[in-house]
Structures are given as C-alpha cells and as structure tokens.
Amino acid sequence: MIDRRSFLIGSGTLLTTCFVDKAYWYLDNKQAVVPLINQNKSLKKLYFVQISSNEYEVRLGTPDLSYESFRQLTYREMLDHYRGVSEPKTLSDFRDIYHEWGITPKMLDQFADPMEYVDDWGRIDSPKAKAYHYLETLDLFGSNGIGGLRRGDLQFVDGAFPGSDYLAVVSNDALSASLLQARLLELGEKTYVELIPEN
C-alpha cells in the first residue's frame, strides 16, 4: 500500500509561497534544506537520502542503512522484542516456545540466526522504519478535503507490491525535505532534516 501526500502551502506560519521559493533556491544553489533550525545533539535527525536519480528515502537517526544498527540477539531477546513472547516460566511455556518456534530451553541464551528476525528489524528498528513510524503519527499534510496549493511529495510505503515487507517513507521531490523541516517546526517537533545527495 502506498499513501502519497503533499504539503498544504499557506496553512501554517512557515509553509508559505515565499518559503517554497526560498526552498527551491537552497535546493538549486546549495543542494540543502533551508536552515530553519540549528543542528545539535538533543534534536531528532531525519535524513533525506538519495537512493536513485530521482528518489529519496527518509531515515531517522542515521543516514546509513547498513546493518551496523542491526544488533545480534539471543533467541530469548528475539522472542521478547520481535515475537512478544515473555520470559518462559513454566514447562508449558517452554513447550509452547518449542512447538511455535522450534527453540529449546538450551537455545534461549544462544545467538539467534539473524535471518530469523532481519525482516522484523527492517519493519521496526531500521532507520527507514523508525522514520515511517515517527512521521505517520504527525499531522503533516492537513485534511485531504482542504483545497489549496500543495507542494512536495511524501509516500508512505507499506509493502510496495503483494508479498513485499518494505516499509519506508520515500519522495520523488527533494523540495520535500525543506517542506518537511518547516512543517515539523510548525508542529513544535524538535527535529532536524538533512538532505544527503547520492554519492
């Protein structure tokens, strides 16, 4: 499912047509987001990472999607964090874990095969999933029923095609990085947005 939305211009104090002109200037001349907020360690950081010639993926916390943030877990940790299975206490609990997941009591403190939970990590703990979960809770766009000038393009992608587990916020418009920064400030969010061009 893909939910594509645009920012309503003129609905707040920052998102004005003058700001859009300024954002285009920063994009054309500096390949950067309009500097509305100073970067510091106390801010959340969103990165617009260029992944192809005209596509950007939004990531929270780090622009890097490598598996450095992918932590190796024990079977016990994996069951708790990704399967919602609390600490087994009874013989029945151990039996259920074995029948459901094929994990014996002796295996609980061994490192789990990363392939057992890499998809869960991709949908819950990866930088792109964290950005999706953060942004989907905010009123970024105003009601669809409100007419007016709209600019930018954010797509909330939950499974790009049947059977896909891809979860991310993507954009085909680099201008959206500045528009998102302005809208986050209008909402009182302490979040810094940075544009990361393709290497």
**pLDDT tens profile 83-123:** 999 888 899 999 999 999 999 999 999 999 999 999 999 99
Residue 41 lies in a domain: yes
Q: Say if residue 9 is in the same domain as residue 57.
A: yes
Name which of 37, 33, 57, 21 is nearest 195 in CA terms. 33
Query: Which pLDDT score, from 0 to 100, does residue 91 have?
Result: 92
C-alpha span between 124 and 131 (Å, rounded): 10
Q: Indicate if 156 and 172 belong to the same structural domain.
A: yes
Does residue 147 sit in the same domain as residue 174?
yes
Query: Among candidates 52, 59, 46, which has minimal Cα distance to 183?
Result: 46
Using left for φ > 0, alpha for ψ between -120 and 50, and beta otherwise, residue 19 falls in: alpha
Reported as a single tens digit per residue, the pLDDT across 163-174 is 678 899 999 999
By residue range, what is the domain housing residue 105? 71-114
CB 5 within 8 A of CB 135: no
- Give pLDDT, residue 68: 60
pTM of the full structure: 0.88
Return the minimum-mean-pLDDT range out of 145-149, 187-191, 192-196.
145-149
pLDDT in tens, 32-52: 999 999 888 889 999 999 999
Contact 174, 48 (CB under 8 A): yes
Q: Which of 85, 114, 143 is the last residue of a domain?
A: 114
Burial string for 61-76 (b: 16+ CB within 10 Å, else e) reads: eebebeeeeeeebebb
